[in-house]
Structure 1
């Protein structure tokens, strides 16, 4: 869906928009100068568009006829216009357009780029609208769906909690304040018991002329607040900005939790998130802790240099991802790695470790200068119960050193958990 339809009769504006959209978004842009040309383009059933930028005044559609014609093909429309009155704005919104762009400055192009970026992201984003008023709920949901969001609806706070439990992919909740049984503020308090502001965004909404209500919502963990009636444009940008803040926080958190070279989780994440998972799963006896160390890694660096050494670490990390796709993998430091294996018996964990060592012998790092470089690794697999992940890692580390002492390129494990 990274394809845009541009309908604009001015060659200058058309060229400028095409170059800007292709440069800034790397989207494919199909252009037409008239409504007739656009209809021919839209007649191809195999071509699908994220949106269409439609000039309001075309040679064969002087009075905005292109807008409903394009929308009839289920293509979201963004209107291009030289100016817009309040009456025309209301008419466009009533028609169901995504938005309108006034072609009067460089800022308009930047707005168009930002809007299309949002539409592209919105297609994979789920929201929840909570409102006991059918009319109000439908209006808000219709606007959000117009902007390509996937929207769930709830009539009260209790139903909202039930829907969130069934659909954990929901990123943002818009809740009215005044609802029977559970107010929007009560719902917010319950949600903040389960989700922080960076995991689930909440925007409060109210028609009440209460000056303290926005402050109450914000103080109890809301990300934003809107007064009814609100302009559709305001709703769009409040929602979009809130989601952008969530994305930025996730990016920052990812940077803090990832090893910059291999992109595996780092030691910090392992001890924070991994320890919680370990404690939650340890009594089920369906997990294991494995520590691996690349054999003779210093020799690789001394022989071929640190650049190839870094490539070897990335190659090893990629093979770990392939072998353990459902497990938590982390780089402990240097050439040492850790895998927390979930949902497998001790015997299965040991067998997986042995299979990984065998796979290394068939998957070398191929380099233009060094040729095929094969590596081996030593591994320690701890399957016994411990009070913490730290204790389990220490035990796995002792098994790793035993593997090193036994000649490397082997797996050592808790003896009473031997396979078969």
Structure 2
């Protein structure tokens, strides 16, 4: 686990860090609770937080609450509150503030390790549930709901002058592939197109059937157009090999739109969808910008 530890005492941090590191955990230590919260919010690989309740400038209870809000449903984060004053009131306050567990300070090493083993089991199961809820089972991409949630999140956190573009594409004449070669080959085509579309910095999802969406944060409309055209050429070069059939080829059509300040998600996606429709109507295997 990657664990953030927060305590006002550097000595306590050193001791706890040593205990955790001895079992292979990655540890990031903070005496300032606001700095710790900022670190957790910007480092999504962090999946554990151990915080003393006696921290500043925000209290340990506030830190638990804020970290829990950060995690929400899309991120697994196990939170352990820690205090030298162990009583039922402190315990209930910590749990009500979003902590998953409560330990005495200084923690007993074997007890801490046992609690973290339980945390690892729970975070693993939570991650598996997230994956099931957000992933298209055939392609491994985000499903429609998860993609749109990330689109909403991306637009919501952008400054007014930042760029966000959206690409929608589908496989040309996909029904003919299914009808001629069978659904197994159609599935191979979908998986090949999905794999080809995944690139660093992009968020890709399957919208349904043979239709896909690509969220391009910090990219303007012309950048998204060039990206879509490059992807169009690479799709046409794909060589999909299927047993009993041999090699099949495919092409894709693309619609591109850029978010306008004040525009809704539905309007952004609708423009990309209309652009895709125009690309199909104009002969397919092309990119239209709208």
Of the three residues 40, 46, 49, the one matched with 1:173 is: 49
**C-alpha deviation, 1:295, in angstroms:** 1.0
Partner residue of 1:397? 273
Q: Indicate yes or no: 2:237 matched with 1:343.
A: no
SS of residue in 2 equivalent to 1:315: helix
Contact 1:279–1:389 (CA under 8 A) maintained in structure 2 = no
**C-alpha deviation, 1:196, in angstroms:** 4.2
**C-alpha deviation, 1:195, in angstroms:** 4.4
Partner residue of 2:122? 245
The C-alpha deviation readout for 1:6-65, integer Å capped at 9, x for no partner, is: xxxxxxxxxxxxxxxxxxxxxxxxxxxxxxxxxxxxxxxxxxxxxxxxxxxxxxxxxxxx
Partner residue of 2:149? 272
Partner residue of 1:387? 263
Partner residue of 1:307? 184
Distance 1:303 1:403, change over 3 A: same
Separation of aligned partners in 2, 1:132 and 1:126: 20
Partner residue of 1:376? 251
Separation of aligned partners in 1, 2:111 and 2:96: 22
The C-alpha deviation readout for 1:306-333, integer Å capped at 9, x for no partner, is: 1111111101111111xx4321111111
- TM-score, normalization: structure 2? 0.88
Distance 1:410 1:229, change over 3 A: closer
| 1:17-416 mapped onto 2 (5 Å cutoff) | 125-158=1-34, 160-161=36-37, 164=40, 169-178=45-54, 183-192=59-68, 194-196=70-72, 199-228=76-105, 230-281=107-158, 283-284=160-161, 286-321=163-198, 324-383=199-258, 385=260, 387-414=263-290
Separation of aligned partners in 1, 2:282 and 2:35: 60
Structure 1, unmatched stretches of 5+, are: 1-124, 415-420
Distance 1:362 1:166, change over 3 A: closer
SS of residue in 2 equivalent to 1:212: helix
Contact 2:32–2:55 (CA under 8 A) maintained in structure 1 = yes
The C-alpha deviation readout for 1:54-85, integer Å capped at 9, x for no partner, is: xxxxxxxxxxxxxxxxxxxxxxxxxxxxxxxx
Contact 2:41–2:70 (CA under 8 A) maintained in structure 1 = no
Larger radius of gyration: 1
How large is the RMSD of aligned CA atoms in angstroms? 2.6
Separation of aligned partners in 1, 2:165 and 2:54: 50
Structure 2, unmatched stretches of 5+, are: none
Further displaced range: 154-163 or 396-405: 154-163
Distance 1:325 1:208, change over 3 A: closer
Distance 1:201 1:352, change over 3 A: same
Separation of aligned partners in 1, 2:52 and 2:200: 41
The C-alpha deviation readout for 1:97-154, integer Å capped at 9, x for no partner, is: xxxxxxxxxxxxxxxxxxxxxxxxxxxx322222334544333222111111122223
**C-alpha deviation, 1:293, in angstroms:** 1.7
Separation of aligned partners in 2, 1:284 and 1:359: 31
The structure, 1 or 2, with the larger RCO (C-alpha pairs under 8 Å, 6+ apart) is: 2
Distance 1:365 1:284, change over 3 A: farther
The C-alpha deviation readout for 1:201-252, integer Å capped at 9, x for no partner, is: 3211223242321111101111100124654221101122123322321221
Partner residue of 1:55? none
How many residue pairs match? The answer is 288
